[in-house]
A and B are shown apart, each in its own frame.
Chain A
Amino acid sequence: MIEYLEPLINGILLGGLYGVVGIGLSMVFGIMRQVNLAHGELMILSSYLSLVFLQVLGLHPLVTLILVAPLMFFIGYLIQILLFNRVMQRGMEPFLMISFGLSIIIQNALLLIFTPDARSLETAMVIKGVDVFGLFNIPLIYLVNFTVGALVLTALHQFMKRTYMGWAINASADNETAAKLMGINVNKVYAYALGIAAVTAAISGVLVGMSFTFYPHSGTQYLIIAFGVVIIGGLGSLPGTFLGGLVLGVSQLFGGRILGPGFQLLSGYIILLIILTVRPQGILGGR
């Protein structure tokens, strides 16, 4: 039993990180019925922005979020106003093309500026461990990831339930025409929504950058994780995204423990396939 406790706990902790990785994709789909293929690049862009602030100002990676998060909100807001809002009414393909194009542009810009070298947001949290009942050690960074992830998802949930902007986002997603009749400028609301999604990208980008090395092309890898999380949990559902992260994290680490480290990613996707077969709308997906 004990030997499975470690992958279970680590899987849950990893899942908290996966939840924030997936939330931006899930939100945009839930609100706009669109898939933002550039979400992974928004994350990695945030990792590099954090790296710059860390080197120039000597801040702790988590503290750089004070600058990176608002900057990413602004970038997300502008992307929606300048690009995405122009094609919202034309089905899914134009949005996919534009966001794919954007992802390539961001990737290559990062490559140009930062070279293809591996980077990381160095912090002592990676080395420090937390002892679990004297049985094994958990890297401190895993605990930080999970805590921040859970906080972000809870804060977002409260924001959606309690604020005018949260209601307006939901109302615009439900019925755009009726939302306009409430005095809502839906284009502006969508821009806020993408801004918020970009803030979640900023947070997950910094967490990921502290936990693993990253390259200009790392975004793709996280987009795939985000897809996994969102498909397992249910598109557009906030609690579903958190649950999806946990399921993916736990199944990866369990698979790795039982079948060997090489099977870690594969076992995650096998679980994804099974869920897709049994419950195509995801565990908590309604629509």
Chain B
Amino acid sequence: MPLLEMKDVDTFYGELQALFKVSIEVDRGRIVSVLGANGAGKSTLLKSISGLLETRSGNIVFDGKRIDGLPPHDIVDLGLSLVPEGRKIFSSLTVRENLMIGSYTPKARKQSHKTLKGILKLFPSLHARISQKGTDLSGGEQQMLAIGRALMSRPRFIIFDEISLGLSPLVVKELYRAVKKINQEGMTVVLVEQDVKRSLKVADFAYILQEGKVTLQGNPRHLTEETVKRAYFGL
């Protein structure tokens, strides 16, 4: 049984339909990539999974339990964590407080100090800035902080929404190294990107979205550049 199974999900913004019968499966321990152009519906998909948006039909099952209709805080508590697009660092909290608030759930709280140590080892550059305001960090460091904050809840399943957006290649490389390491430690990963090449390189499976529909899915090694392009741009 897959860890996450989403079936025929429709999601709307008011009257505007943004997802059309989207079905996705993510197996335990994998890195699954979700690709699509700007406005394809990737973030909408993630907001539907994490409970930020209500789905109108279909169902979402996480670890055998239906999660569509649950509020976001309950979904986090089940072990599913989202690193949101645009990082969304808390501006009135320091780096340390931004990390600590990630361990808000009762389960995570008990191990917060241990988890924090691990995260500072994963992102040593945060260590030197631990007492600064979160939003005073550079873009790359803020992205590390957003990832670290999501890890503080000790998730089994972690979703990254466009972590490489607007960052230098060197920083992106470091972030991807961290993603792989996180996966090797046993976490299931969903990686959402516009950058096709890099994310296909690390993924075990890929979905391509276009205008709110899944247009292609498969093992990246078996997808040809031609079919990917067509699914991505609709040419």
When the two chains form their complex, are residues A182 and B52 in contact, meaning their CB atoms are under 8 A apart? Answer: no
Q: Are A167 and B93 in contact, CB atoms less than 8 angstroms apart?
A: yes
Which residues of chain B from 87 to 118 have any CB-CB distance to chain A below 8 Å in the complex?
88-93, 97, 100-102, 104-105, 108-109
Closest-CB distance, A166 to chain B (whole angstroms): 9
Q: 1/0 per position for B16-59, CB-CB distance to A under 8 A? A: 00000000000000000000000000000000001110000000
A-B contact pairs, 11 of them (CB 8 A): A164-B100, A168-B104, A170-B93, A171-B90, A174-B90, A177-B84, A179-B101, A181-B52, A182-B76, A183-B76, A184-B73
The reply to whether the CB of A157 lies closer than 8 angstroms to some CB of chain B is no
Please name all residues of chain A whose beta carbon is closer than 8 Å to the beta carbon of B52 when the two chains form the complex.
177, 180-181
Report chain B residues within 8 Å CB of A182. 76, 101-102, 104, 149, 153
7 A-B pairs with the lowest CB-CB distances in the bound complex, closest first: A183-B76, A178-B88, A180-B72, A183-B105, A174-B90, A167-B101, A183-B104
Do B88 and A175 touch across chains, with their CB atoms under 8 A apart? yes
- Residue among B51, B82, B104, B109 with the highest chain A CB neighbour number at 10 A: B104
Counting contact residues on chain B (CB < 8 A from A), the size range is 20 to 34
Q: How far is the CA of A17 from the CA of B235 in the complex (A)?
A: 70
Q: Are B90 and A185 in contact (CB under 8 A)?
A: no
A96 part of interface (Cβ distance < 8 Å): no
Which single residue of chain B is at the shortest CB-CB distance from A30? B92
CB-nearest residue of chain B to A181: B82
SS class, residues of chain A in contact with chain B: helix
Question: Once the chains bind, are A170 and B92 in contact (CB under 8 Å)?
Answer: yes
Contact A164 B88 (CB under 8 A): no
A173 in the interface (beta carbon within 8 A) = yes
**Other contacts beyond A168-B104, A178-B88, A183-B76: 7, CB < 8 A:** A164-B100, A167-B100, A170-B97, A175-B90, A181-B72, A182-B153, A183-B108
Q: Considering the chains assembled together, what is the distance between the CA atoms of A180 and B72 in angstroms? A: 6
Q: How many residues from A make CB contacts under 8 Å with B?
A: 18
A164–B81 touching, CB < 8 Å = no
Chain A residues with a Cβ under 8 A of chain B:
161, 164, 167-168, 170-171, 173-175, 177-185
Q: Which residues of B contact A173 (CB under 8 A)?
A: 92
A168 to B98 alpha-carbon distance, docked (Å): 10
Given known A181-B50, A183-B104, contact A171–B76 (CB-CB < 8 A) = no
* B71 touches A (CB below 8 Å): yes
User: Are A178 and B153 within 8 A (Cβ)?
Assistant: no
Question: Does A181 contact B81, Cβ atoms closer than 8 Å?
Answer: yes
CA distance A181 to B76 in the complex (A): 7
A178 & B90 in contact (Cβ 8 Å cutoff): yes
Is B204 in the interface zone, CB < 8 Å from A?
no
B75 to chain A, nearest CB (A): 9
Does B77 lie at the interface of the complex (its beta carbon under 8 Å from any beta carbon of A)? yes
Q: A168-B104, A174-B90, A175-B88 are in contact. Are A180 and B73 (CB under 8 A)?
A: yes
In the complex, are the beta carbons of B84 and A178 less than 8 A apart?
yes
* A167 to B102 alpha-carbon distance, docked (Å): 10
A185 lies within 8 A of B71 (CB): yes
As a 0/1 sequence over residues 62 to 87 of chain B, the CB contacts with chain A under 8 angstroms (1 = contact) are: 00000000011100110001101000
How far, in angstroms, from A34 to B93 measured CA to CA in the complex? 21
Residues of A within 8 A of B90 (CB): 170-171, 174-175, 178-179
B73 close to A174 (CB less than 8 A): no
Contact A177 B104 (CB under 8 A): no
Question: What residues of chain B lie closer than 8 Å to A185, measured between beta carbons?
Answer: 71, 73
State A181–B153 Cα separation when bound (angstroms): 10
Contacts of B153 in A (CB 8 A): 182-183
| B88 contacts across to A, CB distance below 8 A | 175, 177-178, 181
